[in-house]
Amino acid sequence: MAKKKSPQEGAKRVNDPNIMGLKAEVLEQPITETLELNYMPYAMSVIVSRAIPEIDGFKPSHRKLLYTMYQMKLLGGPRTKSANVVGQTMKLNPHGDAAIYDTMVRLSRGYGALLHPLVDSKGNFGKVYSRDMAWAAPRYTEVRLDPVCAEFFRDIDQDAVDFVDNYDGSLKEPTLLPTTFPNVLVSANQGIAVGMASNLCGFNLTEVCDAAIAWLRKPGCDLLTILKAPDFPTGGQLLYDEAALRQIYQTGRGSFQVRAKWRYLKSENLIEIYEIPYSTTVEAIMDKVAELVKGGKIREIADMRDETDLNGLKLTIDLKRGADPDKLMARLFRSTPLQDAYSCNFNILIQGMPRVMGVGEILEEWTAWRMDGVRRRTYFVMKKKEEKLHLLQGLKRILLDIDRAIQIIRETEEDAEVIPNLMIGFGIDQIQAEYVADIKLRNINKEYILKRISETAQLEEEIADLKDLVGDTGRLKKTIIAELQAVKKKYAVERRTEILYDYSNEAPGAQEEDIPDYPVHVFLSQAGYFKKITPQSLRMSGEQKYKEGDGPFLQWEGTNRDELLVFTDQQQCYKSRLSDFPDTKASVLGEYLPTRLSMEQGETVVWACITSDYSGNVLFCFQNGKVARVELAAYKTQTRRKRLTGAYSDKSPLAAALLIQEDRELAMISSEGRCLIFHSSLLAPKSTRSTQGVAVMTLKPKYHVERLLPVEETAVVDQKRYRPKALPAAGALLRGEDRGEQQLSML
């Protein structure tokens, strides 16, 4: 096997004379070695030692903080300043006071990010549902451990978990905390590592304990019937989707929807929102609602304000007269974070290796780890009892002849010989002899010794029972079950997030029904400026404003629910709703479509149309004399795509386009001054957008088609002259009386 090269051996030395005018030696290193030797150790450190929680439900920063507070006697004791805890924690966590205090804030009762807060706090710790509310500095706040933390440290001094040196070897710290319940499923946890992330939602403690008990009794049981759904401290309503939850429970990945809780106060005509999804904030909701109101997409809201106080969260929405609160909230749920998706990624470190696991696998790993912890704890207690029994057995031999023991001690000349002489005299070992030698003179009496020896039989029974427990898996499971039942009884709280089993899945068209429906006039200028004006506003000021050199191009009458299709010179079609554009006035320039629709550099608008149902056909007239008839339905998509490529053929430049609902006579005019009148029924509709069409007008070299428009929009008097017997045809030269420059311009 080839010996692996060191970085120095694999690197190449290069002399570079251009560094600060001095001759310097540059060390080149292959990128693969840089990644392996420099980047990978950092990435693994972030994954293993910082960002991903372990089977006890804690990241290293959480564990170090809680253990420090436990060592400071803050479990059941009085509160102390947060700054004091932060300073002590730095002995285990060298990442700085700000990072430690941020960790403490998230675990605190005041912040409210956990179903069962681990830090009993006093002072301003901000709120999980507020993005902008800052928490007070650590010198102003006070903390202690919450009573539930007793379940994390009950076995900490009984060898239930391993201890390791801290970063400088001056202290010992636990690798895990021996939690008596699956805290990994109760405490929500998020983390972003290098190349991977973790996002664990919280579950109700009672349901988690019941699920763990059921799994211990029957591994592989259906957890969805016991562990109903996730639970969040901010409440809200979880939209129950059995398939989505079952996927999360099985794979550890997936998402579900949570929506806010609200009530309508009819007497004041307002809506109060008092619980919001865990994954959003008050500020995010208000910003989005304000954006919708400003954009004219929601017209029923008169005002919205944050009335959160000491009684809890409350967002108030004042409604306009006649507004339907149910329809408004349904629209807000679709358009704002008032209904939000929570994505799950149950990525947990198991023996130093990250694994994405379902709930069943997590419970399997936790029960195995917990059984090992109970076994270690039992073995530790058993060894202590065996040591005590061993001492009492030595004391029992002294009972046979107390006078002899006193005589041996009195007749021993040197202090160092007392222990060996007792060992020889009574046949006991050194530990027993030292125990006997340390007994006080007043306790060398028959009553004291008999009382102590009476514990021997009880100790022997307890040791035998503990030995049986260590080797009996069934008894270990019963012990864990009893502990889980005790935890559930002591710390159970009501579910905060309501499970919504029956909720309406609105049809795809429901959103369109909520868009305000009113008539509008739409204008598009030659330069690409777009305006949507209500009839009332148009009557007040009908004079259109344009930039210098610009002028009218297209105009339509429609409704606010219609869709706009914009075709460009790059054979692309951009789609948008008229409701996406704000109502404006004739006195403004309007919105520049290339910018609003995010067109490509240099792309310009060549034609546009509006539609409500995608009925009718589009006639694309090309400069080479061909016309393509494409069904407008070919541009309808199910996924609300904003851009379609290949909107029409690119074989020849586009001369004109028309949207027709029924067949009619059309006039085609060339740059030579020829006109040809034909009926659109001669063109077969195509569903393929990029069709080249059929030849309609034959052209001489250097000439091209300029316009295509309905016959009634021309000034042609003798229409029979320009109707050919068959297509394609050259058409006839326009006579003077058939020329009408104003009418021949394309509208």
- What per-residue confidence (pLDDT) applies to 301? 93
- What per-residue confidence (pLDDT) applies to 694? 93
Q: Averaged over 48-70, what is the pLDDT?
A: 92
C-alpha span between 644 and 636 (Å, rounded): 10
Helices 242-251 and 359-399: crossing angle in degrees, nearest 10, is 50
* Sequence-separated (6 or more) residues with CB below 8 Å from residue 114: 106, 107, 187, 188, 202, 233
Q: What percent of the chain has pLDDT over 90?
A: 63
φ, ψ of residue 60 in degrees (nearest 5): -55, -40
Asked if 520 contacts 612 with a C-beta cutoff of 8 angstroms, the reply is no
Q: Averaged over 553-568, what is the pLDDT?
A: 92
| Residue bearing tokens 């990644």 | 35
pLDDT band at 329 (very low <50, low <70, confident <90, very high): very high
| E strand intervals along 448-518 | 498-500
* Residues known to be catalytic: 140
**Alpha helix positions (H), 492-620:** 510-514, 535-540, 593-596
CA-angle at 337, arms to 335 and 510, nearest 5°: 30
Q: Report yes or no on whether pTM surpasses 0.75.
A: no
Q: What percent of the chain has pLDDT over 70?
A: 94
3-class DSSP state for residue 688? coil
pLDDT at residue 1 is higher than 50: no
Helices 473-491 and 455-471: crossing angle in degrees, nearest 10, is 100
- What per-residue confidence (pLDDT) applies to 3? 47
- What per-residue confidence (pLDDT) applies to 29? 75
- What per-residue confidence (pLDDT) applies to 322? 87
Q: What rounded mean pLDDT belongs to the chain?
A: 88
Q: Averaged over 588-611, what is the pLDDT?
A: 91
Q: Are strands 80-81 and 142-145 parallel, antiparallel or unpaired?
A: antiparallel
Output the six-digit token pair for 565. 């299709």
Q: Averaged over 492-514, what is the pLDDT?
A: 71
- What per-residue confidence (pLDDT) applies to 11? 53
pLDDT band at 18 (very low <50, low <70, confident <90, very high): low
- Whole-angstrom CA distances from 616 to 172, 453, 463, 572 are 79, 104, 91, 20
pLDDT band at 317 (very low <50, low <70, confident <90, very high): very high
Q: Averaged over 693-719, what is the pLDDT?
A: 90
Burial 579-616 (b: 16+ CB within 10 A, else e): bebebbebeebbbbbbebbebeeebebbbbbbbeeeeb
By C-alpha distance, which of 73, 150, 120, 233 is closest to 483?
Answer: 150
pLDDT band at 362 (very low <50, low <70, confident <90, very high): very high
pLDDT band at 23 (very low <50, low <70, confident <90, very high): low
pLDDT at residue 614 is higher than 60: yes
C-alpha span between 522 and 409 (Å, rounded): 115
* Sequence-separated (6 or more) residues with CB below 8 Å from residue 403: none
pLDDT at residue 507 is higher than 50: no
Output the six-digit token pair for 736. 């003077």
Q: Are strands 142-145 and 119-122 parallel, antiparallel or unpaired?
A: antiparallel
C-alpha span between 150 and 145 (Å, rounded): 9
Output the six-digit token pair for 478. 């019963």
- What per-residue confidence (pLDDT) applies to 154? 92
Q: Averaged over 494-519, what is the pLDDT?
A: 72
